[in-house]
Chain A
Amino acid sequence: MKVLMKGNEALAEAAIRAGCHHFFGYPITPQTELAAYMSKRMPQVNGTYLQAESEIAAINMVLGASSAGVRAMTSSSSPGVSLKGEGISYMAGSDLPAVIINVQRGGPGLGGIQPSQADYWQATKATGHGDFQILVFAPSTVQEMVDLISHAFDTADKYRMPAMILADGMLGQMMEPVELPEEGSANLPEKEWAAKGHGGKRAHNIINSLYLTPEKLEQLVKERFERYETVKRNEQMAEEYLTEDADVVLVAYGASSRVARSAVNKAREKGLKVGLVRPITLWPFPTDALNRAASHAKNFLVVEMSMGQMVDDVKLAIDCKVPVHFYGRTGGMIPTPADVLAQIEALL
């Protein structure tokens, strides 16, 4: 039975059904409905909802809860996610899983409150200080928000690393029909590393990110990067839409991929051979799908709601085999399918 839900609410309900019973948040537009929904629902499942005194406090509560082995989550929007950067880095350095949601708005600074994708660099390259990566998932529909939440928790647990759902104000605020997984259907893994009390029955577990011996720290970082290589090999996700015969391949994720899809459909109606590669994981970046498309396309066109933050990743992924062009709007502006179609036609 499908229900109609806002993206923000669907993320919250899906997280609970994925076994997340610990949520720590702080309000900010355009993600506030998520925290509001959690405040109503968590008591019904005997979970913990806590509105922290700040975003920094919230992410550190997530760190604490995750250390004890439970599924924990926080959510915010762009300026708030910047504040969480330190905590995310500490979690990466402590090999702790968690899910962080960013319902992006325009920046930099306080920016605006309209939808944006200007936190791509932050999410994929510089969430915080130090040598680390986090998993980054980019849903494009409310249903995909639901599906990716449980996948994000599972993958974060599997590799013991934080995962981010990189959404935006459009996806957070819009309603679409969704099918939710059954309550209690989550498969929660045993976490032998968790620091949750043991009654003297085993050696104690330590959760820590401080290593003052450089040899030891280097070794740990290198081991983590070996794990990242496994993630890159096994966890790439992308949708390839009408790319088989495409001369122009659009590359877009999240909300802008919906605009791109509309533009592809309009182009196809005109008989133009245009397709779309939609990255679903932004880290690991879906290089395999992009290279399949690059083997026959004449041009790539990246479409984003930013100044083109993903363009370099696309160029690197395909080793500049075909020219990579860019069209985008920023600051909370949303490109229209007609704008994108005009860019496509200029390339043909």
Chain B
Amino acid sequence: MKNLNILFAGFGGQGVLFAGKVVAYAALIANKQLSWLPSYGPEMRGGTANCSVCVSDEAIGSPLVTNPNVLIAMNLPSFDKFINAVEPGGVVIVDSSLIDKKVERDDVTVYYVPSSSLAEENGLSGLSNMILVGKLFQEVCTQGDCAFCDSDILDQAVQKCIPARKAQMLDFNRKAIQIGAQQ
């Protein structure tokens, strides 16, 4: 596989770190090298939060993703901050219900997913992040140069990430992933 350097970026509370954790567990189950690095500053409380996830066949060098080949932009400040840092040829997935800007670059592939609105409409409040994860796996993690797993592994990863005391959330997460994959 080609090295995958993903940056999830949004507000604290949007599930930025959790989304990254799902990718990290999928990579673990797929027996890949991986790193998961959260931002851990005071910005966690309502400010911007981001999470770097690297997946590779080789040992991971710097776990801090400064030039992602996949950017998941979950709010406008993050979109503005990172859009020009995306590697040429990279992928950008935008929550278009919170970010009304279009990407002006023509050297990246952009998917506009109104994930926050879709989450509300489908009774999946708080699972906008998993709708974006669904799109990420559909377009990047399960097909193309950076593919490293299949949808079965994604499901195992989601099961790993949801603690037993929140088991009732599993099916909601699965539904959110499915909606994302269909966008």
Contact = CB atoms under 8 A, between A and B. Distances in A.
Same assembly: yes
Contact of B61 (A4, A29, A176, A265): A265
Given A174-B35, A175-B24, A177-B28, A169 B40 contact: yes
Interface in A329-348: 334, 336-338
Nearest to B63: A174
A174 B62 CA distance: 11
Contacts of B41: 113-114
A262 interface: yes
Nearest to A340: B62
A4 B28 contact: yes
Contact of B24 (A4, A30, A170, A261): A4
Contacts of B42: 113
Interface SS of A by simple majority: mixed
Contacts of A177: 28, 33-34
A325 interface: no
A176 B62 contact: no
B64 A334 contact: yes
Interface in A141-190: 169-170, 173-177
A245 B36 CA distance: 33
A175 B36 contact: yes
Contacts, number: 60
Nearest to A30: B40
B180 interface: no
A174 B37 contact: yes
Given A4-B25, A114-B41, A170 B36 contact: no
State which size class the interface on B falls in. Answer: 20 to 34
B134 interface: no
B15 interface: no
B35 A337 contact: no
A117 to B, nearest CB: 14
Contacts of A337: 61-62
A198 interface: no
A313 B36 CA distance: 32
B4 to A, nearest CB: 15
Interface in B10-40: 21, 24-25, 28, 33-38, 40
A259 interface: yes
A2 interface: yes
A258 interface: yes
B156 interface: no
A-B residue pairs, 10 tightest by C-beta = A262-B61, A175-B36, A174-B37, A259-B62, A261-B61, A262-B62, A336-B66, A258-B62, A258-B61, A173-B40
Interface of A: 2-4, 29-30, 113-114, 169-170, 173-177, 258-259, 261-263, 265, 334, 336-338
12 contacts: A29-B40, A169-B40, A170-B64, A173-B40, A174-B63, A175-B35, A259-B61, A261-B62, A262-B62, A334-B64, A336-B62, A336-B64
Given A170-B63, A177-B33, A265-B61, 19 more contacts: A2-B28, A4-B36, A113-B42, A170-B37, A173-B38, A175-B24, A175-B35, A175-B36, A177-B28, A258-B60, A258-B62, A259-B61, A261-B59, A261-B62, A262-B62, A336-B66, A337-B61, A337-B62, A338-B66
